[in-house]
Structure 1
Amino acid sequence: MRFNNKFDLNLLVALDHLLHLRSVSGAAARMNMTQSAMSNALLRLRTYFDDELLVKIGRRMELTPRAEVLKDSIRDLLVRVDWAIASSAQFDPAQSDRCFKILASDYTLVTLIPRLLARSEALAPGIRFDFLQQVQRPERALERGDVDLLIIPEEFSSKLHPSEPIFEDDFCVIAWSKGKYGRGKLSRQDFADASHVVMRPAIAAQSLETHYLEQRNTNRREDVSVYAFTALPHLVVGTNRIATVHRRLATAALRSLPLRIIELPIALPVLRQRVQWHRYRSNDAGLLWLRKLMHEVVAELP
């Protein structure tokens, strides 16, 4: 296929890899081409756009201003073409070997996903899943086609793509059952004075409970910070520290750790998790099936 009888649309794929990898050798390897063939493709692209696109600065390749403008537009176009070709009104889960890529937190992995996997294995034994770590601006992962679905808090979902509520949870405090807070209620002053273990999410500058607490003019001593929700219960055991966590995570940890669940002395909003997909994929039969399955599994959660 040609554009204006000058531009081979196959070069768009090469351009996409070049702009995202910023490497001729990396783009060549991704497309299973020789480095000389990719260099020739870059030369043709530079001629067509009358721009260097990639320039060497020191030991790195950087994008020109024109290339920065092209980068997201080219990826969006290729994703739309790929989905238009690959999409089908038919999806047979029992026969499919499709791999669903889902961006989700480790909290979601230990609460919702085990039940989802058990149910999907019974209905669709060939289906595969690739769960990816949360990142800043997760909607870009959707737009680049890197993931099929996001499972994220409502506050972090994008207004540019459709989403739907999947489940809710509230917050509580956990403490070592043999420690300072192993008995009795937790006052607001106790909460402020205690040493806290907190989670710093990759998806945002601060966690939801930190945001909620700041809105209520409540401070806490954040003495230990980690990058995973599931680490929090383990890190309060054997100490007098406490952690504010999702109740479902606390309940799961209680089965194997000497913990106590304590009610928060400050009322916080509930966590509302949403599942989100690209606006071009609302009719993807496979994603429709998977979203329906998620709702069925959530309905059975305690």
Structure 2
Amino acid sequence: MRFNKLDLNLLVALDALFTECSISKAAARVHLSQSAMSNALARLRAHFDDELLVKVGRTLELTPRARALKEPVRDVLLRIDTAIAAQPRFDPSRSDRTFQLLVSDYTTVTLMPHLLALARQQSRTVRFLLSPLPHLDQPQRALGRGEADLLVIPRNYCSPDHPIETLFEEEYVCMVWNGSRFARAGTLGYEEYVAADHVEVQPASIGQPTLESWFMKRRGIERRIEVCTFSFVAAPFLVLGTDRVATVQRRLARMAQQFLPVTVLPAPLPLPRMEQSMQWHKYRTHDPALVWLRTLLHQAVVQMEAQQQQAAALAGGEAEAASRPTGS
């Protein structure tokens, strides 16, 4: 099929070339031979009167014209895919669809187990691919390129160009080792907090400071960061055997307390709450499969909250029982 003298089948090849910057990898991506992809590139160069990809050293790089075409081509293909490939209804019990979610390790351990459990109740064939978050200076690119069905990220990292739904709010607490001076004192004041050695989480994928770090910088609070890690889940482990303080999400802190000798203390400053949200491409808002997935995520939040409240009540009851005099 041609449009303005361009064979529209070449757009698929062009998108693959833009994505891979390699003729052989682009050919494999769209199941063509290398010679067929080379021929497609020659035809595209002739149509656009531009080299599109040029050799720089041992790699191919996009020309300015190609860089200008990259996002519009991906946008056109995504529109076509959304309009034609989406089924009118979604039956999870009969679907073999793989949903790709871009999530942090925090989301992976707190929310994803509940999502997977709920999904398993409805389907044994649906699959999930949980991938690390890409660089989030421009998060809409992961959605625009069709690299993800959903992003699950704090709202302040979401793009204004695509729909957003808040899943839950999260507050920050301080976590310390049980043998630390802060745990022995049972309190952590502001001056002690500022003077302490800290564990800071800075995910490699996020090109902006985390909400906690942004707040500190805005308030002009200078902390001594003794350890910086890319992993939220690792932070509780990095306070063990020391007087370090890790400022972490409350849900993660509660989980860590079940397995580690750590104490959770209130943060001695008014840290803002995090709005954990999900975001999807605007063209896929009415995709029945994604409607199902988004509904399931909200249900997973309800289940997560109920389980954590039950665990907190149980822990409170055990602490009360342990404090009673013997024989009472």
68-77 or 176-185, which deviates more: 176-185
In the alignment, the residues of structure 2 paired with residue 271 and residue 63 of structure 1 have an alpha-carbon distance, to the nearest angstrom, of 38
Quote the offset at 1:25 in angstroms: 1.5
2: CA distance between counterparts of 1:105 and 1:195?
Answer: 25
Measured after TM superposition, the shift of residue 217 of structure 1 is 2.5
Deviation, structure 1 residue 180: 2.2
**1:65 Cα shift?**
0.9
What amino acid does structure 2 have at the position aligned with 1:79? L
- Partner of 2:12 in structure 1? 13
Specify the code of the residue in structure 2 equivalent to 1:56: K
Find the residue that maps to 2:207 and give its secondary structure: coil
Quote the RMSD (CA, aligned, Å): 1.1
Aligned pair count? 301
Partner of residue 187, structure 1 = 189
Mean Cα deviation higher: 100-109 or 34-43: 34-43
How far off its partner does 1:13 sit? 0.7
Answer yes or no: is the 8 Å Cα contact 1:102–1:131 preserved in 2: yes
Secondary structure (helix, strand or coil) at the match of 1:16 reads: helix
Report the CA distance between 1:89 and its aligned residue: 2.4
Letter in structure 1 aligned against 2:2: R
In the alignment, which of 276, 279, 291 is matched to residue 276 of structure 1?
279
Superposition map of 1:1-302 within 5 A: 1-4=1-4, 6-136=5-135, 137-183=138-184, 184-201=186-203, 202-300=205-303, 301=305, 302=308
Q: Confirm or deny: 8 A CA contact 1:197 1:222 kept in the other structure.
A: yes
The AA in structure 2 aligned to 1:200 is Q
Aligned-pair distance for 1:66? Answer: 0.6
Task: Tell me what 2:321 maps to.
Answer: none
- Structure (1/2) with the larger helix percentage: 2
Distance in 2, matches of 1:213 and 1:256, equals 29
Q: Distance in 2 between matches of 1:25 and 1:88?
A: 32
- Give the share of equivalent positions with the same residue, in percent: 49
Per the TM alignment, residue 139 of structure 1 is displaced from its structure 2 partner at its CA by 1.5
Offset of 1:204 from its aligned partner?
2.9
Q: Match for 2:54: what amino acid?
A: V
Cα separation, 1, equivalents of 2:300 and 2:24: 45
What residue identity is the alignment partner of 1:131? L
- The separation in 2 between residues aligned to 1:47 and 1:126, in whole angstroms, is 45
Runs of 4+ in 1 over 3 A off after TM superposition: none
> What per-residue deviation string (whole Å, max 9, x for no partner) do you get for residues 56-102 of structure 1?
12222111111110011111111111111111221112221211111
Q: Distance in 2 between matches of 1:255 and 1:38?
A: 55
How far 1:205 moved relative to its partner?
2.7
Supply the AA of the counterpart residue of 2:82. Answer: W
Q: CA deviation at 1:285?
A: 0.7
Structure 2 unaligned regions, length at least 5: 309-328
Counterpart of 2:216 in structure 1: which amino acid?
L
Letter of the 2:241 partner, please give it.
G
TM-score (norm 2): 0.89
**Would you say the 8 A contact 1:138–1:203 is kept in 2?**
no
DSSP-derived class of the 1:206 partner: coil
